[in-house]
Structure 1
Amino acid sequence: MIAELLPISPDDREKILALNNLFAAELSYLDEARLDHLLAQAFLALKVGDVEALLLTFDQDADYDSPNFLWFKQRYPRFVYVDRVVTDERARGRGHARRLYQHLFEMAHEAGHTVIACEVNSEPPNPASDAFHAALGFRAVGGSAIHGGKKTVRYFVKNIG
């Protein structure tokens, strides 16, 4: 049985925070206030089933202070930025992340977007994310050291136009 893709609702807050914060090193820690702000700014905020996975994205008009988002905002006039995508360890291997991305590509295209943007940690490394994004057709367009040099990332885009 395939779990349904659903919009994230306020009732999901506790489960979203728990899943996100299990992977805070890769995604960045969220508290309730920050999550509420991000959800209010989101282009697309989806969950799979009962929060087996989640996707949070923003377009270029979002009020968002992430250095990664701002990097794209300085270089691309119009885009959708994937801020976080994560699958619960117990739900891995079911294609949730791929389904979330495919839905994002469709929604972004319908809204007139042609560029999907994201970043992947290079330090600490995230080889699974590298492979996943490469398989979806993302290409590297830059990189940066963030948070005082404690973390380095590579920036990727996929053209969907």
Structure 2
Amino acid sequence: MSRLSIPLALADLNAPDGAALLALNNAHAVELSWLEPERLAHLVAQAFLARRVGVADALLLTFDHDADYDSPNFLWFRERYPTFVYVDRVVVADSARGRGLARALYDDLFDAAKAAGHARIVCEVNSDPPNPVSDAFHAALGFVPVGTAEIHGGKKTVTYLERRL
């Protein structure tokens, strides 16, 4: 584990950190999706890996293929791959950008996934509305496109990505 990242536990969500993490997520709801406190708690409880940096400088939530999760993007991967780790959300606060926090979180994820015997990390990036910063970041990490889909009644189009470990 990177010395920057801290495991995220359900107890953290009942502390002041919980409100700050929820605010971080919801400030980027266009890219991620809006969460209520109960939903964030459910996601953390289901997570393969849940990490944060600082109180709320950055957040990473991931799930393996066995998670109890109903996201259309997660389900897209479940229909196609027998095993995987899915990056549901990674976000860095505007005030903490440019410090390598997202990279540190992904490095932790790659190490944990390898240690657990996983061979692939998957995620999606919005293509409509576009997210060129995320596209470039994931490409630099070695992710490649493996599909696309319209979701939420055509309100969003996503590109599905995979990185083999």
Give the structure 2 partner of residue 4 of structure 1. 4
Give the structure 1 partner of residue 56 of structure 2. 51
Per-residue CA deviations over 1:101-145 (Å, capped at 9, x if unaligned) read 011000000000010000000000000000000000000000100
Per-residue CA deviations over 1:29-78 (Å, capped at 9, x if unaligned) read 00011011111100000001121001000000000000000000000100
TM-score when normalising by structure 1: 0.96
Give the structure 2 partner of residue 133 of structure 1. 138
The verdict on how the C-alpha distance between 1:107 and 1:42 changes in structure 2, with shifts beyond 3 A counting, is: same
Q: Percent identity?
A: 63
In structure 2, list runs of 5 or more residues that go unmatched: none
SS in 2 for 1:50: coil
Is 2:68 aligned against 1:63? yes
Which residue, out of 131, 151, 160, partners 1:155? 160
Contact persistence 1:43–1:59 (CA under 8 A): yes
Is 2:113 aligned against 1:108? yes
In structure 1, list runs of 5 or more residues that go unmatched: none
CA distance in 2, matches of 1:71, 1:60: 11
- Letter in structure 2 aligned against 1:35: L
TM-score when normalising by structure 2: 0.94
4+ aligned runs moved over 2 Å, structure 1: 9-12
CA distance in 1, matches of 2:87, 2:59: 11
CA distance in 1, matches of 2:3, 2:55: 8
Contact persistence 2:4–2:104 (CA under 8 A): no
Contact persistence 2:62–2:85 (CA under 8 A): yes
Give the structure 2 partner of residue 88 of structure 1. 93
CA distance in 2, matches of 1:135, 1:73: 25
SS in 2 for 1:26: coil
Contact persistence 1:3–1:49 (CA under 8 A): no
RMSD between superposed Cα atoms in Å? 1.1
Count residues in correspondence.
Answer: 159
SS in 1 for 2:35: coil
Which residue, out of 6, 27, 33, partners 1:28? 33
CA distance in 1, matches of 2:36, 2:85: 23
SS in 2 for 1:85: strand
Contact persistence 1:20–1:30 (CA under 8 A): yes
Contact persistence 1:42–1:62 (CA under 8 A): yes
